[in-house]
Amino acid sequence: MQGDTVVWMIFLLLCMVSVIEVYSASSNMSYDSGHYWDPVMRHGSFVLVGIILAWLIHLIPCVWFKLLNVLILLVSFAMLIVVLFAGKINGGARWLDVGIFSFQPSELAKISLVGVSAFLLSSMRTEKGASNLSFKIVLGLTFLVVGLIATENLSTAGIIFIVLLGIMFISQVSAKWLAWIVGGMIAAAALGVFVAHSIPESTLDNWSVQEHGILHRVPTWVHRITDRHITPENPDDYDIYDNIQVTHAKIAIATCNIVGKGPGNSVERDYLPQAFSDFIYAIIIEEGGILSGAFVMFLYLLLMWRAMKIAKRCKALFPAYLVMGLALMMVVQAMINMAVAVGAFPVTGQPLPLISKGGTATFVNCAYIGMILSVSRSAKRVDEPSNKQKIIATSTT
């Protein structure tokens, strides 16, 4: 295992946490299937393949990622168009079923867009920073990807836009352009909140029965933004089935204490529909306590810090932008997932990277780590002179 040792440790620790918590949180799946070991064995095999994938990718010279990401982005464009018509999951077209397996094209679009943006912003530059042409191309590609994803997965589209904005800032895009983008985002968010509070409930009910089209997801967005669930004054009158995911996530966190109930002793996993995915962080806190939740958050923040250290060692701009973009994509998604689990952010449906149960997301997140390690491997080789160079330098002095 070459590359940054700390990143390897973070990666393997998160994989260990994933297997343990998915094993605990998948009780409903075990009950439904009648096979106790099936969910964790399936997830464990995905994690194992993901680790092997990360190891293989970290051996690839990072300069190869320039062409690879361009090809993957072109393929993901076509897949995103197909999935709008042929994809389906829980009322939203997100997954593409090819018979043997199904996957999310948005995950491929995320990783490839980061790579292509890092390539364009690093290669097309002026003395002051990234050129206006590279900025416009990246912004156009971002709007195209976000537009294809937003109608069915608004939260993923938002994360992509935020991360790409971060890459633009790191690559020294004109402050004027960044100010316009941020201002536009704030104005759009304010307008969205205003419209969400203005739409009558009867109109939302009519839209919610539509199986296809853009409007069928609007009621879900509005309810998450406005949070129209009324909390009664008397706790006995509270309907826990009104907003079941948020309610049981809060119960899990409220009953955890400092050290938690212990691995495998979660109670709320039997009531949380997405205990092994979107709300697995609540189960981590319930079983491991506040200390366990803080430790998992620390691992993601440590990953971001190591990515910054790796980027500083890079002699070229492309690998520096690439490693920062990949780390931002994982950490921003992780922070949003954890904020949702503790009730500090509206429900988004975003899994916890490298921990939540999944197929495509697991492999793509492992690919993120492999690419980060590839960059750290080449940066370390450039940064640290070989033994022969050390001997020559010592004899010269």
pLDDT in tens, 102-139: 678 888 889 999 999 999 999 988 888 888 898 999 99
Report residue 127 as tokens: 């003395």
Going from N- to C-terminal start, the domains of the chain cover 5-396
Task: Enter the tokens of residue 105.
Answer: 């094209």
Quick one: pLDDT at residue 307? 95
pLDDT tens, position by position, 252-289: 888 888 888 888 888 888 888 778 888 899 999 999 99
Q: Is 65 helix (H, G, I), strand (E, B) or coil?
A: helix
Question: For 39-65, what is each residue's pLDDT tens digit?
Answer: 788 888 999 999 999 999 999 998 899
Q: Could you tell me the pTM of the whole model?
A: 0.86
Q: Which of 20-34, 138-152, 223-237, 276-290 has the lowest mean pLDDT?
A: 223-237
pLDDT of residue 390: 47
Cα separation of 18 and 365, whole Å? 13
Q: Mean pLDDT of all residues in the chain?
A: 82
- The predicted pLDDT at position 397 comes to 47
What is the C-alpha separation between 224 and 222, in angstroms, rounded? 5
Q: Which residues of 241-253 are buried (b: 16+ CB within 10 A; e: fewer)?
A: eebebbbbbbbbb
> Which residue reads 């836009």 in tokens?
161
Between 29 and 4, residue with greater pLDDT: 4
Lookup result for tokens 């293989």: 56
Please state whether beta strands 102-103 and 125-126 pair in parallel, antiparallel, or not at all (unpaired).
unpaired
pLDDT at 74: 92
Mean pLDDT computed over 83-101: 61
As a three-state string, the secondary structure of 274-330 is CCCCCCHHHHHHHHHHHHHHHHHHHHHHHHHHHHHHHHHHCCCHHHHHHHHHHHHHH
Q: Tokens 């197909």 sit at which residue?
A: 82
pLDDT tens-digit readout, 316-334: 899 999 999 999 999 999 9
Which residue in 313, 310, 304, 318 sits closest to 117, CA to CA? 318
Tokens 């971060």: give the residue.
Answer: 166
**What single letter denotes the amino acid at residue 304?**
M
Read off the pLDDT of each residue in 33-43 and give the average, rounded to a whole number: 75
Kindly write down the DSSP assignment for every residue of 83-120, as one continuous string. HHHH--BTTB---EE-SS-EE-HHHHHHHHHHHHHHHH
| Structure confidence by residue, pLDDT tens digits, 162-201 | 999 999 999 988 888 889 988 988 898 888 777 777 777 6
Task: Give SS3 for 342.
Answer: coil
Give bridge partners of residue 126 from the DSSP assignment. 129
Q: What is the pLDDT of residue 310?
A: 94
* H-state helical runs in the chain: 5-25, 27-33, 38-58, 65-86, 105-123, 132-150, 154-170, 175-198, 201-208, 218-226, 244-254, 280-313, 317-341, 360-383, 387-396
pLDDT band at 385 (very low <50, low <70, confident <90, very high): low
pLDDT of residue 367: 94
- Residue 228 above 60 pLDDT? no
Determine contact, residues 58/48, Cβ cutoff 8 Å: no
Pairwise CA distance, residues 283 & 257, whole Å: 13
How far apart CA 138 and CA 29 sit, in angstroms, is: 42
Q: Please, are residues 363 and 340 in contact by the beta-carbon 8 Å criterion?
A: no
Q: How large a percentage of the chain has pLDDT more than 70?
A: 79
pLDDT tens figures, 68-78: 999 999 988 88
DSSP string, 211-230: SSSGGGGHHHHHHHHH----
Terminal C-alpha separation, the chain: 34
Q: Coil, strand, or helix at residue 197?
A: helix
- Distance between CA atoms of 201 and 194, rounded to whole angstroms? 15
3-state DSSP assignment of residue 174: coil
Alpha-carbon gap, residue 377 to 153, rounded angstroms = 35
Residue 365 vs residues 107, 183, 185, 305, 372: alpha-carbon distances, Å: 9, 31, 27, 17, 11
Neighbouring C-beta atoms of residue 2, cutoff 10 Å: 15
pLDDT value, residue 115: 93
| Distance (Å, whole) CA 10 – CA 16 | 10
